[in-house]
Chains A and B, each alone.
Chain A
């Protein structure tokens, strides 16, 4: 194949001889326009990918999903800024994400068929989501699916110790795990989320994502909203 290409290249060069620069360009464009466009696109795309992969932020300090609220508490909101200031996280290094665009209600079975619920599941199962807030009853229903962390786990020992008196329980769907209620959330109805931001009508609760790896950041979030 290589030999053939060299021969082809030679014959092309012969054809180009004795033409003006403009004719040469015209000839090359006429015969190889697809190749040229393709190669240029490939180079642009390749350098774009490399650039993105090198410069973009990939990790999260903290990712919280604040469901079912019409208030503006997403990334870059006052709440977000307050949290970043409080913790001193460097947001040019890793991300702090507050996602306030998720709407689902597990307890009403409306979650079924709701794409937002699938998005939530995807963030939990991929280990990105660290915490989620919603109304206490809904959080308790959500806990049945095992997507929230069992607060008795040793990883959340300090949170469990600190907020022992305000736990929310749910009975797991998976009876092999436990038939007794498992603590899956913390009632935070008296935090600034309710007193200052009025997120929900019937109280507020926080759960930790089952695959979360930033539990210290969740603890800081709890400290921040009770400061």
Chain B
């Protein structure tokens, strides 16, 4: 791709391309990448206790983070969480979006209802779920006549948190799916129904392949979102929860070190480990995109 080989047209295209991405890239570099370099620098330092400033310590933080069992435990917790949230969140949202794209009465009401969890005050969401999960007074244990410690039993707490995760992303995924469905030309379906294809056939032969770019986008962004999950854990898991170490995500661990304990260098190192991990996952996904996503 040497510059001398570019045709005038390609050169014009390149010029427009750079012009179009310029505002976004300048903004991202100023707003986001400058802080990132700061973080990278901090990860090599022992930072500012009691006003002492940054002290360069080389790779000591990395050594500490990579040899700490809790780092790998929280990374594993995060992966487990993502394994619940991403597939279930995507499939349920897809089914709902397909339903709401039919000619049904009241679709706009349903769309609004499914959107409501996203605007609810996080405090309300946390309180409701804590109440549902409460061991003595909770609705679940009362209805099923069980005595399960939903969020303090290390064996099942990660599933309980995952369920809240699925619940809270359904609306988000659904909005994106609906907008993707709108972009599928209607005549595909007309042609198919003339051929006598049933709803389920249409779904697998038309909707799924034509929607695959949107699906890929949602899976990709949700995967990144799930691997950086934090607020949800924070709302539901108290500091005193015995299952915390088996549930806490890696960003939670970062927060504990960088914010609560004031060890910013160590926290920055955890972030670097996380980013490298997500980059590997993303790289694999971008490779997979070429074979799995249908492009017209």
Q: Do A and B come from one complex?
A: yes
Q: Residues of A at under 8 Å CB distance from B? A: 1, 109, 111-113, 117-118, 121, 125, 145-150, 153, 155, 172-174, 176-177, 182, 184, 210-212
Q: Is A113 in contact with B49, judged by CB distance below 8 angstroms? A: no
What count of chain B residues pass the 8 Å CB interface test? 20
Q: Is B239 in contact with A146, judged by CB distance below 8 angstroms? A: no
Q: Within residues 234 to 251 of chain B, which ones have a CB less than 8 A from any CB in chain A?
A: 234-235, 239-240
For A117, what are the chain B residues with a Cβ–Cβ distance below 8 Å? Answer: 259
Q: Within residues 112 to 148 of chain B, which ones have a CB less than 8 A from any CB in chain A?
A: none
Given contacts A1-B12, A112-B255, 7 further A-B pairs with CB under 8 A are A109-B239, A117-B259, A118-B259, A145-B260, A147-B262, A173-B262, A182-B50
Q: Is A146 in contact with B234, judged by CB distance below 8 angstroms? A: no
> Known interface pairs A111-B260, A112-B234. Does A174 touch B49 (Cβ–Cβ under 8 Å)?
yes
Neighbour of A149 across the interface among B50, B234, B240, B264, CB < 8 A? B50
A178 (CB) vs chain B CBs: closest residue: B50
Identify the 4 closest CB pairs spanning chains A and B, nearest first.
A146-B49, A145-B262, A150-B50, A210-B51
B263 interface residue per 8 A CB criterion: yes
A150, A210, A212, most chain B CB atoms within 10 A: A210
- Alpha-carbon gap, A210 to B235, bound state (A): 29
Q: Is A150 in contact with B51, judged by CB distance below 8 angstroms? A: yes
- Tell me how far the C-beta of B217 lies from the nearest C-beta in chain A, rounded to whole angstroms: 27
B15, B48, B234, B240, most chain A CB atoms within 10 A: B48
Q: Within residues 39 to 62 of chain B, which ones have a CB less than 8 A from any CB in chain A?
A: 46, 48-52
- Tell me how far the C-beta of B5 lies from the nearest C-beta in chain A, rounded to whole angstroms: 20
- Alpha-carbon gap, A84 to B142, bound state (A): 60
Write 27 A-B pairs (CB below 8 A) sorted by A numbering: A1-B15, A111-B260, A112-B234, A113-B235, A118-B259, A121-B259, A145-B260, A145-B262, A146-B48, A146-B49, A146-B50, A147-B262, A148-B50, A150-B50, A153-B50, A155-B51, A172-B50, A173-B261, A173-B262, A174-B49, A174-B261, A177-B50, A177-B52, A184-B50, A210-B51, A211-B51, A212-B51
Mask: chain B, 250-270; 1 = CB below 8 Å from A; 0 = not: 000001100111111000000
- Tell me how far the C-beta of B119 lies from the nearest C-beta in chain A, rounded to whole angstroms: 18
Interface of B: prevailing SS: helix
Q: Is A109 in contact with B50, judged by CB distance below 8 angstroms? A: no
For B234, what are the chain A residues with a Cβ–Cβ distance below 8 Å? Answer: 112-113
- Alpha-carbon gap, A154 to B12, bound state (A): 62
For A146, what are the chain B residues with a Cβ–Cβ distance below 8 Å? Answer: 48-50, 262
- Alpha-carbon gap, A112 to B248, bound state (A): 13
B16 (CB) vs chain A CBs: closest residue: A1
For B256, what are the chain A residues with a Cβ–Cβ distance below 8 Å? Answer: 112
Neighbour of A174 across the interface among B51, B259, B262, CB < 8 A? B262
- Alpha-carbon gap, A117 to B239, bound state (A): 15
- Tell me how far the C-beta of B269 lies from the nearest C-beta in chain A, rounded to whole angstroms: 15
For B52, what are the chain A residues with a Cβ–Cβ distance below 8 Å? Answer: 177
- Alpha-carbon gap, A118 to B261, bound state (A): 12
For B239, what are the chain A residues with a Cβ–Cβ distance below 8 Å? Answer: 109, 112
- Alpha-carbon gap, A118 to B264, bound state (A): 13
- Tell me how far the C-beta of B26 lies from the nearest C-beta in chain A, rounded to whole angstroms: 14
- Alpha-carbon gap, A112 to B261, bound state (A): 10
- Tell me how far the C-beta of A149 lies from the nearest C-beta in chain B, rounded to whole angstroms: 4
For B48, what are the chain A residues with a Cβ–Cβ distance below 8 Å? Answer: 125, 146, 210-211
For B240, what are the chain A residues with a Cβ–Cβ distance below 8 Å? Answer: 109
A174 (CB) vs chain B CBs: closest residue: B49
- Tell me how far the C-beta of B73 lies from the nearest C-beta in chain A, rounded to whole angstroms: 19
B46, B235, B259, most chain A CB atoms within 10 A: B259
- Tell me how far the C-beta of A65 lies from the nearest C-beta in chain B, rounded to whole angstroms: 16
- Alpha-carbon gap, A145 to B50, bound state (A): 8
- Alpha-carbon gap, A109 to B234, bound state (A): 12
B50, B234, B264, most chain A CB atoms within 10 A: B50
Neighbour of A210 across the interface among B15, B46, B50, B259, CB < 8 A? B50
- Tell me how far the C-beta of B52 lies from the nearest C-beta in chain A, rounded to whole angstroms: 8
Mask: chain B, 141-182; 1 = CB below 8 Å from A; 0 = not: 000000000000000000000000000000000000000000
For A118, what are the chain B residues with a Cβ–Cβ distance below 8 Å? Answer: 259
For A177, what are the chain B residues with a Cβ–Cβ distance below 8 Å? Answer: 49-50, 52
Q: Within residues 43 to 90 of chain B, which ones have a CB less than 8 A from any CB in chain A?
A: 46, 48-52
- Alpha-carbon gap, A184 to B240, bound state (A): 27
- Tell me how far the C-beta of A101 lies from the nearest C-beta in chain B, rounded to whole angstroms: 18
A156 (CB) vs chain B CBs: closest residue: B51
For A182, what are the chain B residues with a Cβ–Cβ distance below 8 Å? Answer: 50
A149 (CB) vs chain B CBs: closest residue: B51
Q: Is A174 in contact with B235, judged by CB distance below 8 angstroms? A: no
- Tell me how far the C-beta of A168 lies from the nearest C-beta in chain B, rounded to whole angstroms: 14
